[in-house]
Amino acid sequence: MDPLGRGLYTRHVQETLSHFIITLACDDQPGIVHAVSGALVQAHGNITESQQFSSDDTGRFFMRLQVETASSFEDVSAALAPVIKKYGLTAEVNTLGRPLRTLVLSSKASHTLTDLLVRQRDGHLSITIPLVMSNHDALEPLASFYGVPFWSQPISSEKDKASFENHLLDMVEQMDIELVVLARYMQVLSPRVCDALEGRAINIHHSFLPGFKGADPYRQAHERGVKLIGATAHFVTSDLDEGPIIEQNVMRVNHSQSPEELKATGQDEESRTLTQAVRWFSQHRIMVDGVRTIIFN
């Protein structure tokens, strides 16, 4: 009996809830959403966010769910297993907010690396960076300032490149790396590394209209009177700078801006664009549909 004499009462104990992100992809067919929802009900799951997309181009179906439940990761996975088998789903279950282990590649430019490091430190990105690797030692003080281990090796020959990439792949395996970010890493990854990191390596590069290659692109842009500059973040593939695009941003400029001002504007766009791509990846919001991406933002 309670202290006020109102008879028997039940004390409700707050259950500890887990929050999961579930991503699914398969050939489009009837009944997928119903089957997935039913499986999550069996696991005592409450769907708090749901997005889906059917691609007319490839005939593929994509879905992202956020679920809260008192069930364990193993229980949720087990409940989904029959649905995965029946519909031929490619599926992942991840804990919401779990920081992804992210290795960063850099060269000499500091702007994109700085943005990633400060946002990681401040808790604004769901990543943890256990290592920065570079073909120069210029950014070692920056990594050290944020308490991140730094390793560098000059690359001046194919032998150097092979040695560097062997160490990269070793670190990816040993450190259980889930994402590799090319933060203005000014080397072209070999096809074997691109294949090994397929779907989990993101690159950033400047985007101009028209495009300029080679040394000092911002000076070239200034000389040609470019009106738009920007940046593109994309997955790394063996086709140079042609991987599935994740995010793009542009900024309008004019004739009065110096090459240095254009460069500063462009670097801001590069940092903003790369960080957004990393954020979406860490939140499991990116799914690949052939040569393009589906972004559930």
Q: Which two tokens stand for residue 198?
A: 């397929």
Read off the pLDDT of each residue in 129-140 and give the average, rounded to a whole number.
Answer: 98
pLDDT score for 241: 79
Both structure tokens of 52: 């889906």
Contact (Cβ atoms closer than 8 angstroms) between residue 137 and residue 165: no
Q: What is the pLDDT of residue 262?
A: 92
With 0-12 / 13-18 / 19 or more C-beta atoms within 10 angstroms meaning exposed / middle / buried, residue 35 is: middle
Q: Residues 169-177: what's their mean pLDDT?
A: 98
From the candidates 28, 75, 160, 241, which is the catalytic residue? 241
Domains defined for the chain, CATH in brackets: 18-95 (3.30.70.260), 100-295 (3.40.50.170)
Q: Output the DSSP codes for 264-281.
A: HHHHHHHHHHHHHHHHHH
Residue 1 is predicted with a pLDDT of 39
Quote the percentage of the chain above a pLDDT of 90.
86
pLDDT digits (tens, 9 = 90+) for 202-248: 999 888 766 777 668 888 889 999 999 999 999 999 888 789 999 99
Does the structure show a pLDDT above 50 at 161? yes
d(CA 19, CA 66) in angstroms, rounded, equals 7
As a whole number, mean pLDDT of residues 50-63 equals 97
**Confidence (pLDDT) at 4:** 41
Q: Over range 15-44, report the average pLDDT.
A: 95
CA–CA distance, 83 with 281 (Å, rounded to integer) = 25
SS3 12: coil
How far is residue 293 from each of residues 23, 62, 105, measured CA to CA in Å? 14, 11, 23
| CB contact at 8 A, 199 and 288 | yes
- Mean residue pLDDT of the chain comes to 92
Asked whether the predicted pLDDT for residue 78 surpasses 70, the reply is: yes
46 by DSSP, 3-state: which?
strand
Contact between residue 78 and residue 59 where contact means Cβ atoms under 8 Å apart: no
CB-CB contact of 157 with 79 (8 Å): no
The reported pLDDT for the residue numbered 15 is 61
Residue 207's pLDDT is 82
Residue ranges in the chain assigned as alpha helix (H): 32-42, 73-87, 111-121, 140-145, 158-174, 191-196, 217-224, 259-282
| Residue 289 is among the residues annotated as catalytic for this protein | no
pLDDT at 11 over 50: no
Determine the pLDDT at residue 212.
Answer: 79
Asked whether the beta carbons of 286 and 94 are under 8 A apart, the reply is no
Please tell me the pTM assigned to this model. 0.91
Token pair recorded at residue 216: 């000092």
Query: Mean per-residue pLDDT for 250-265?
Result: 93
- Work out the percent of the chain whose per-residue pLDDT is above 70: 94
Between 3 and 252, whose confidence is greater? 252
Average pLDDT, integer, range 51-65: 97
